[in-house]
Chains A and B, each alone.
Chain A
Amino acid sequence: MRPPYLRPIDRHWWAKPPYLAYTLREATGIAIATYALVLLAGVICLAAGESAYAGWLGFLANRWSLALHAIILIAMIFHVWTWFAIMPKTMPRLVIADRYVEPRFITMAVIGVVAMATLLLLVIAGRISQ
C-alpha cells in the first residue's frame, strides 16, 4: 500500500493570510484572560489588606498599565466585532414579515446596541460617581 499523501504545510501558516485573521481573532483570548488576571490581582490585593490594595491601584495608574489596558480595549472591541459577526451563523435564519434578515444586518444591529449600552453605562456611572 502506498503511504497517504500529506500536503506540505508551511510552519508559519498561522502568521500568513488568510489564516492571520483567525490567529488575530484567537489572540483576543489572550487579552481577555489578561484582563481576568488584572481583576484577580485586584481581588487578591483587596483580601490582603489596605496597603496591598493601594499597590494595585498604583499599578493601575502607572502608564504601563494604561498602555496595557488600551491594548486590551482594542482587542476587546475586535472580539465584539468577531463575536457578533459569527452570531447570525449560529442561529436559525431570521425571517421578519416574510423577508430573510441579512446576517450582516443582525451583526450591525447587535454591535450598535452594545455600543449604545456601553456609552450609556459609562456616562451614567460616571455621573453618579461625581
Chain B
Amino acid sequence: MDSRTQEFLEYVQSGGQVETGDWLPDEYRSRLIKFIEMHGNSELMGVLPERDWILRAPTLQRKLALTAKIQDEVGHAQLIYRVVEDLGKPRAACLDDLVSGKAKFHNVFHYPTKTWGDVGVIAWLVDAAAIVSQKALLKCSYAPYARIMKKICWEESFHILHGRDVILAMVTGTQEQFELVQEALDRWWEPLMHFHGNLIPADEDPMYVWRIKSQANEDARQQFLDGYVPQIRELGLEVPDPALRKDEATDRWVYTEPDWERLRAVVTGHGPASQDRIDFRRRSREHVEWVERLLLAEAA
C-alpha cells in the first residue's frame, strides 16, 4: 500500500470523513460504489414483495400506508443512486447490472410473500434488521452517503411502526390471523438470520477496514436479536429456532448457525423469487424507456 493510501486509511480509521471531491484510493472508491449500489438496488427491489399486496391489503388505511412505504423506498433508491453517480457510476449502468443479474441486492428480497402475515413480518422485522445496519452507516467514512442515511433512517422508523401495527392487529384478532403471523415468522426467520451477513470478523471485513461499515456483521445481528426477540416473544409468538437463547456468561445470543452457502446461492440469483423479480424490473424498465427518452430529448 503506498503512503498516500496508508495515510487515507489511518484518517478514516480514526473517524475521519471524506467528501466527493477528495482524493479517494481506487480500492476505496470501487468498494464504496459496490456497497452503496447494492443498497440502492435493495431499496428498488424491496418494493416488489410489498407492491404485490397493495390491491389485496385488508383495509384502505393499509393500502395507503403500504403505498406510502413503497414511495419512500423508491425515493431512497433515487437518493442512493444519486450518491453512486457522484462517485462515477451512472444510474443507467447500475440498472443494467441489476437486470442482468450482475449486481446484487439483499437476500430478503429474493423471497416471495405468501400471505398478509408476510407483509407484516417484513415491515416489522426485516425493516428492523435493516435499520440496525443503517444506523451504523450514519458514521460511514464517506460523508455524502452518511448524510442521506439520516433521512432514510428517519423514514424507516415509520415503516417499522406500520409493520408492528399490522402484526398487533393480527395477533389480537382471530386464531387464524395469529397463525398466519406465526407461519410467516417460521418462513422468514432464516432470511432474517442471514440478513446481516456471515461471521467475518470486523478486522477482516474490508467494508469495516475502510470504515464504510462501522460495525461487524455479528454485532449487528446481536443488536437485532437484543431488540426484537423480546418483542416477538411478548406477543406469544415462537422463534423457530429451539437453540436460540441469550448466554448469561457472554451476554450474547446463541443460535443455530445459518447455512452460509444457502445465503450465497440466494444473493447470486438462486432464491425462490430472484428470477421473477429481476425479470419484472427488466420489463418495467423497457416499458418506461420511452418516457425517459422523451424527457431527456425535451430537456436537450
Is B a genuine binding partner of A?
no
Show the binding face of A for B, using Cβ within 8 Å: none
